[in-house]
Amino acid sequence: MKSKTLAAALLAVGLVGPALAGGQPPFSLKLLPLGSFHSGLFDQAAAEIVAHDPSSQRLFVVNAASGRVDVLDIHDPATPALLFSIDLSAYGSAVNSVAVHGDLIAAAVEARTKTDPGKAVFVDRDGQVLAAVEVGALPDMLTFTPDGRHVLVANEGEPSDDYGIDPEGSVSIIDLPRKIDQLTQDQVRTADFRRFNDAELDSSIRIFGPHADVAQDLEPEYIAVSQDSRTAWVSLQEGNAVAVLDIRRGTFGALHGLGFKDHGKPGNELDASDRDDKIDIRNWPVLGMYQPDAIARYEHRGRTYLVTANEGDSRDYGGYSEVVRLGSSSYPLDPERFPDAESLKQNANLGRLNVSKASGLNPQTGRYERIHVFGGRSFSIWTQDLQQVWDSGADFERISAEANPAFFNSNHNENSFDTRSDDKGPEPEGLTLARLWGQTYAFVGLERVSGVMVYDISDPHAPSFVQYLNHRDFQAAPGTPAAGDLGPEGLTVIEAADSPIPGVPLLAVGNEVSGTTTLFRIDREPRRAVAGH
C-alpha cells in the first residue's frame, strides 16, 4: 500500500490525525520500556508524581498515602532502584506533589484534616528538610517558575465530606530567598478568587456547591507557567475553567470558561454505555465538560499555546453529590429537546451514563434541556486566551479499542471490558510536553485503561497521532508484578542532555494504582503510525 493510501486508511479508522495524513517530517518517535521500580503497594497511591534531578540521576516519586517521597537511582534506567525515602509525615497526612529545580526539591503536603492549611516543604537531594511554610487547604500540585525565583502551589480547597466546611481555593506564591533556610511565612503570598464573587462569569464556568461563593467553589488543580515566569495558567477542574495568574502582582486577572464539547458532532463520538456488551463509539446528544486536570504550555511561531488533559471530575460527597445516572427518574429530560427520551434512558443507550444534575436544568419546567457529562475523553490545545484551536475528539477511545478490543474502556484495578464507558471512558489525566529533534510532542496518560498517548503537536492547529503504548498485561491479575503499569498519573520527559543514557531522552511515568515507576526510552525512527501493547 502506498504511504498516502495507508495514511488515509489510518485516518479513516482514527489511528492518525489529519496532519499525519497530509504529510509531516519524515521521522517520528517510538517509546520502548526500559525498566520499572515496583513499590509493592497496590491501589495505595504509591507512585503518583515524578520529578527528575539530572545532577544525581535520581527520580523523586510521590508515595502519597504513606506521606513519603521515594528517591530512585536511575543511573541504569533498566533497573531503577530505591535509594531511600523522605518521610514528610510530620508535616501532614499525604504528599500530593513534588518538583525539582537545581539542587532544591519542593513537596506539597496535605494537612491531616484536609480542610486545614497544608505545607510546602523544601528538602535537598539527600532528603534533608531545609524549610517549610504554610500554604492553602489541600495543596494538590506545585511547580517552580522557570527562573527558579518562585514556587506556585495549587491549593484545591475541597470541602469536607459533609460539606460543613468549604475552604477557599487559591494559589500560594512562595518568593524564594537566595538561601532557602532563610524562608519565612512572610514570603508566602496568596492569590484568591474573592474579586469574582460578584462578577458576571462565563456561563460555562460551574459555580454550584451548596452555599458556596465563587472563591470557595473554584478549586485549583494544576499550573502551567510562562517562559518568562510572569504568568501562570491554573486549571479549575470541577469549575470547567482556567484562571490566569499575574505572578508579580499575586492576583488573578481573568477567568476563562472552557465551554462544552458537543458529542453530537462528527469526530466527537463516545461510547456511553457499560451495559451494551459491545464497543459502540458514536454520536450522542450530550455535552462534555472539558474539566482538565493537567495543563502545560509551549510556544509556536512566537505565540503561547496551552495543552489540557480533559479528565473530568465531579463533586461527589456525603453532604452533596451532583452525579446521577441519566436513566434515573430524578433526571427528567425535556420532551421538546429530547423527543426520544424514553429510548435514550435505556441502559444500552444513555441510561447508565453518569451526568451532572447541577447544570442543564430549566427551573421553570423542572426538566433538563442540556445533558452535561464529565470530561472530554480527549486532550485539547488552546490559545493563551483559552480559545480552543484543536481537540483530539474520539481518538483515545478509537485508538485504545483498536489496540486492545477485549479490554476496551477497562478500569485500572481490574481487567474488564467496557466498564468505564458510562463514566469518563479512558480518562486522560496526566500530561507532559517535550521539544525533541525540533518537534514538540505531547505525552498523555490514560488513567483508567492505562497507557500513554503520544502526539506531535508542533503545529497546534494540526497535531498528529504518533503512538499508543500500554505497558499493562491484561492477562495478569492487577496487584501482581506481572500486571505492569496501572493508572498513570505523573509523567515527565528527561531530555537527552540530562539523560542517564547519553543522547537518549527518556519518559518517566508514575502509576498510582500499580505503584510502579517506569522508564521508557524515546527513539527517533521513520515516521509511521504505531498502535500497540
What mean pLDDT comes out for the span 38-43?
95
User: Which of 357, 374, 391 is a domain's end point?
Assistant: 374
Question: Is the predicted pLDDT of residue 524 greater than 70, yes or no?
Answer: yes
Asked if 281 and 320 sit in the same domain, the reply is: no
Asked if 98 and 203 sit in the same domain, the reply is: yes
343's enclosing H/E stretch is: helix 341-344
State the Cα–Cα distance between residues 289 and 310, nearest whole angstrom.
8
Q: List, in order, residues 6 or more apart from 46 with CB less than 8 Å away.
A: 39, 40, 63, 64, 65, 66, 512, 515
C-alpha grid cell for residue 356? 451532572
Question: Is the predicted pLDDT of residue 87 greater than 90, yes or no?
Answer: yes
Do residues 494 and 38 touch, judged by C-beta distance below 8 A? Answer: no
Question: For the chain, what is the domain count?
Answer: 2
- pLDDT grade for 526, boundaries at 50, 70 and 90: confident
Which residue, among 347, 474, 354, 469, has the nearest Cα to 410 in the 3D structure? Answer: 474
State the Cα–Cα distance between residues 435 and 437, nearest whole angstrom.
7
Do residues 409 and 448 touch, judged by C-beta distance below 8 A? Answer: yes
Q: What is the pLDDT of residues 477-517, one digit of tens each?
A: 999 999 999 999 999 999 999 999 999 999 999 999 999 99
Asked if 335 and 387 sit in the same domain, the reply is: no
Name the pTM for this structure. Answer: 0.94
Q: What is the pLDDT of residues 252-290, one digit of tens each?
A: 999 999 999 999 999 999 999 999 999 999 999 999 999
122's enclosing H/E stretch is: strand 117-124
The DSSP-derived string for 305-325 is EEEEEE-----B-SS-B-EEE
What mean pLDDT comes out for the span 199-223?
97
CA 107 from chain center: how many Å? 18
Q: What is the pLDDT of residues 440-467, one digit of tens each?
A: 999 999 999 999 999 999 999 999 999 9
Which residue, among 446, 355, 442, 342, has the nearest Cα to 399 in the 3D structure? Answer: 446
Domain housing 407: 3-313+375-532
pLDDT at 24: 61
Asked if 303 and 353 sit in the same domain, the reply is: no
**C-alpha distances in angstroms, 118 versus 96, 123, 172, 523?**
10, 16, 11, 40
User: Which of 336, 359, 374 is a domain's end point?
Assistant: 374
Asked if 223 and 345 sit in the same domain, the reply is: no
Do residues 201 and 237 touch, judged by C-beta distance below 8 A? Answer: no
Do residues 430 and 354 touch, judged by C-beta distance below 8 A? Answer: no
Asked if 290 and 329 sit in the same domain, the reply is: no
CATH number of the domain to which 123 belongs = 2.130.10.10
| Residue 176 phi, psi (nearest 5) | -80, 130
State the Cα–Cα distance between residues 80 and 95, nearest whole angstrom.
21
Asked if 340 and 401 sit in the same domain, the reply is: no
State the Cα–Cα distance between residues 220 and 141, nearest whole angstrom.
9
Asked if 327 and 259 sit in the same domain, the reply is: no
The DSSP-derived string for 347-413 is IIIIIT-EEESSSSEETTTTEESS-EEE--SEEEEEETT--EEEE-TTHHHHHHHHH-GGGTT--SS
CB-neighbour burial class of residue 293 (10 A; exposed 0-12, middle 13-18, buried 19+): buried
State the Cα–Cα distance between residues 262 and 435, nearest whole angstrom.
31
Which residue, among 303, 528, 294, has the nearest Cα to 433 in the 3D structure? Answer: 294
| DSSP structure class, residue 44 | S
- pLDDT grade for 28, boundaries at 50, 70 and 90: confident
7's enclosing H/E stretch is: helix 3-12
CB-neighbour burial class of residue 337 (10 A; exposed 0-12, middle 13-18, buried 19+): middle
What mean pLDDT comes out for the span 184-193?
98
Asked if 158 and 264 sit in the same domain, the reply is: yes
Asked if 298 and 342 sit in the same domain, the reply is: no
User: Which of 374, 393, 415 is a domain's end point?
Assistant: 374
Asked if 334 and 414 sit in the same domain, the reply is: no
The larger pLDDT score, comparing residue 19 to residue 104, is at: 104
Q: What is the pLDDT of residues 2-11, one digit of tens each?
A: 333 333 333 3
Asked if 276 and 342 sit in the same domain, the reply is: no
The DSSP-derived string for 234-272 is EEETTTTEEEEEETTTTEEEEEEE--EEETTSTT--B--
Q: What is the pLDDT of residues 284-341, one digit of tens each?
A: 999 999 999 999 999 999 999 999 999 999 999 999 999 999 999 999 999 999 999 9
